[in-house]
């Protein structure tokens, strides 16, 4: 799955309750836009899309601060999984 497809999947989860996609992408913070259940859904989407578990050390507030940061973390996790 490429980065654009993953971005769209993340946005589908985050924006399913009427949140504007453009505002989510423009915002540097997801805080206040997603609750803990949405966060779990985002993690599930990432893990199923990447085909691996996200290591516990990557599950930080900083890594889930915005969509671009999420995508960077996903890339790191994916590369790490392929290297094994």
Residue with tokens 């969509």: 67
The model's pLDDT over 37-81, given as tens digits with 9 standing for 90+, comes to: 999 999 999 999 999 999 999 999 899 999 999 999 999 999 887
Burial environment of residue 62 by CB neighbours within 10 A (0 to 12, 13 to 18, 19 or more): exposed
CATH number at residue 32: 1.10.1200.10
Print the domain residue range for 12: 3-83
Domain count, the chain: 1
24 pLDDT tier (thresholds 50, 70, 90): confident
Residue 31 bridge partners (DSSP): 34
């Amino acid at each position: 799955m490429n980065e654009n497809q993953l971005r769209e999947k993340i946005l589908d989860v985050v924006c399913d309750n009427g949140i504007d996609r453009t505002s989510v992408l423009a915002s540097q913070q997801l805080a206040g836009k997603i609750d803990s259940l949405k966060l779990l859904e985002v993690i599930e989407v990432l893990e199923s899309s990447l085909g691996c578990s996200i290591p516990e050390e990557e599950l930080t507030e900083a890594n889930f601060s915005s969509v671009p940061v999420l995508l960077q973390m996903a890339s790191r996790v994916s590369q790490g999984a392929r290297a094994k």
